[in-house]
């Protein structure tokens, strides 16, 4: 009998789905470690509450976060963020190096460069 893990791509896809649906939460330290029936509330002495009171509390399998990520588009020397202004992007890429994502909806300039090189041609 062998224990098997799913293919790495499947694990990554599942993690990405959870990341896209992650909920912002706050830690509620109020209350004792015992629940109303005297049983242990949970193994930690806190409860995760949704940051937005209109949202439902996260489940055991939900991905959560406590703070918003910083804005990586703009320079922030205090956090060591260089920003993306002035960087070269790839107009045909849909990845992180693509102009749509890297330029943060600020627009971008297209520069076409023709390079002449000597080749090792024989005639």
Per-residue pLDDT tens for 69-90?
888 899 999 999 999 888 899 9
> In sequence order, which ranges of the chain are alpha helices (DSSP H)?
8-20, 99-102
Per-residue pLDDT averaged across 55-74, rounded? 90
> Which pLDDT score is estimated for 46?
77
The model's confidence at residue 7, banded by pLDDT at 50, 70 and 90, is: very high
Q: Which residues pair with 24 in a beta bridge?
A: 65
The per-residue pLDDT for 123 is 74
Model pTM score: 0.56
Alpha-carbon distances of 25 from 5, 42, 86, 111, rounded to whole Å? 30, 17, 35, 44
């Amino acid at each position: 009998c062998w224990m098997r893990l799913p293919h790495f791509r499947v694990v990554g896809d599942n993690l990405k789905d959870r990341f896209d649906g992650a909920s912002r939460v706050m830690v509620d330290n109020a209350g004792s470690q015992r629940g109303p029936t005297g049983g242990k509330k949970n193994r930690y002495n806190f409860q995760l509450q949704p940051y937005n009171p209109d949202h439902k509390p996260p489940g055991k399998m939900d991905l959560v976060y406590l703070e918003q990520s910083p804005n990586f588009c703009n320079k922030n020397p205090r956090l060591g963020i260089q920003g993306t202004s002035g960087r070269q992007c790839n107009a045909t890429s849909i990845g992180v190096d693509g102009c749509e994502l890297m330029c943060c909806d600020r627009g971008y300039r297209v520069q076409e460069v023709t390079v002449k090189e000597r080749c090792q041609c024989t005639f």
